[in-house]
Amino acid sequence: MFGPRINWLPIVLVLILFASIIMTLALLDFELKSSILAIARSKAQIQAVESINQIVAKKIVAQIQYTDIVYVHKDEQGRVVLIQPNTIELNRLMTETMVEVTRAMSSMQENTISIPLGQLTGSRILAGYGPKIKVKTIPVSQINVNILNKFEQAAINQSRHLIYFQIEGRIKVAVPFLDDEVKISTTIPLAETIIVGEVPKTYVNFSGSGSGLNSLLGE
């Protein structure tokens, strides 16, 4: 009256094995994509910062002296009493820097970053081997250029006045089936001088970004 009983155990085991394989492959795929994206982000960030530093050093910093961008006022004894930015020149420098950096970032789109598949293993021996994954970089926001300054102790009775660029932007990193945004930030010395004696108690602080420079009187 009754047919042979079905042994469900092998079927259940096969289903469990199949589900385990699917979950393992999904986990490996997720980890692989995460590793690819992490390496791509790091490489793109390094390349972008190097590109910005090189172009700014060559086209901007090499052409500028401290006295081009700062007015130094002294009293009758030759002591520095006021340091004042040349706002016209600093505005010009910021605009020129934004143009040069934007151009450098745009040129990165013409090149691709290659990640050898062996690098995903974490092994130094295999890092340079295997098929290469192509990574594209695309600027996704306007470059922001700030001009900042600071005083620091240089020696006894001497202070260094340093003026520097702070440049920020964002780029998109695109690999097959994945993309992410990366923040780019770098600080580049623009000019400096040594002030002998006390730092003036009154000086005009440097504060500027984008298309304008707002000068604030600080004490």
User: What's the confidence (pLDDT) of residue 126?
Assistant: 61
**Domain presence at residue 3:** no
**Domain presence at residue 12:** yes
Which residue range(s) make up the domain with 183?
8-218
Residue 160's H or E segment, with its range, is strand 158-175
**Contact between 170 and 153 (Cβ < 8 Å):** no
**Domain presence at residue 103:** yes
User: What's the confidence (pLDDT) of residue 125?
Assistant: 64
**Domain presence at residue 85:** yes
CA atoms within 13 A on the CB side of 86: 14
**Domain presence at residue 1:** no
DSSP3 helix / strand / coil % (the chain, rounded to 5): 40, 35, 20
The number of distinct structural domains making up the chain is 1
Residue among 142, 136, 209 nearest 169 (CA)? 142
Residue among 171, 139, 175 nearest 36 (CA)? 175
**Domain presence at residue 141:** yes
CA distance 65 to 212: 21
Q: Note the residue count of the chain.
A: 219
**Domain presence at residue 163:** yes
pTM higher than 0.75 for the full model?
A: no
Alpha helices in 60-186 (DSSP H): 66-69, 87-107
**Domain presence at residue 175:** yes
User: What's the confidence (pLDDT) of residue 210?
Assistant: 44
User: What's the confidence (pLDDT) of residue 187?
Assistant: 93
Q: What is the pLDDT along the chain (219 residues), one digit of tens a residue?
A: 455 666 667 777 777 877 777 776 666 566 677 777 788 888 888 888 998 999 999 988 988 899 898 888 888 887 787 888 888 898 898 889 988 988 888 887 766 777 776 666 666 666 666 677 777 777 777 788 888 888 888 788 888 888 999 999 888 887 777 778 888 899 999 998 888 877 666 555 565 554 334 333 233
User: What's the confidence (pLDDT) of residue 204?
Assistant: 53
At 75-122, the pLDDT tens digits run: 888 778 788 888 889 889 888 998 898 888 888 776 677 777 666 666
User: What's the confidence (pLDDT) of residue 14?
Assistant: 76
